[in-house]
Amino acid sequence: MGTSLKNAQLLLDSRLPAAMHGDGNACYDLGVAYSTGTDGADYDLVEAHKWFNLAAVAGNALAQAARAEIADDMSAREIAAAQRAARDILATNQRRAA
């Protein structure tokens, strides 16, 4: 793995723990990474939509617009999969908080 690829993966990995705990900015950053295929992320609109959805739930207004924008390029099945994945993370966080 080249140095720039390692650095990009480190950026992605550094945001994941905060995002998994509901940090809206970290979720948004992951959404951007997956929607553009940068920072060590593969281009994956389902993953991007999931993270933008979680960021929007956390109050990130930019994520709401980004989620709507990429949804135009997704099938209903892909959107449903992204929403399920986001709900799973939210449920995990709620169980952790209880």
The pLDDT confidence band at residue 39, using thresholds 50, 70 and 90, is: confident
Q: Where are the domains of the chain?
A: 3-97
Whole-model pTM: value is 0.87
Please state, in angstroms and rounded to a whole number, the distance separating the CA atoms of residues 42 and 57: 23
**CA dihedral (31, 32, 37, 40) positive or negative:** negative
What would the mean pLDDT of 11-18 be, rounded to a whole number? 85
- Choose among 58, 34, 47: nearest CA to 83: 47
Select the more confidently predicted residue: 3 or 47: 47
CA dist 72 and 58 (Å) reads: 22
Report the pLDDT value the prediction gives residue 8, as an integer from 0 to 100.
63
Pick the range with the lowest mean pLDDT from 4-13, 51-60, 62-71, 84-93: 4-13
Which is more confident, 74 or 12? Answer: 74
Q: What is the C-alpha to C-alpha distance for residues 94 and 87, in angstroms, rounded to an integer?
A: 10
Q: How far apart are the first and last CA of the chain?
A: 41
Q: Is the model's pLDDT at 12 over the cut of 90?
A: no
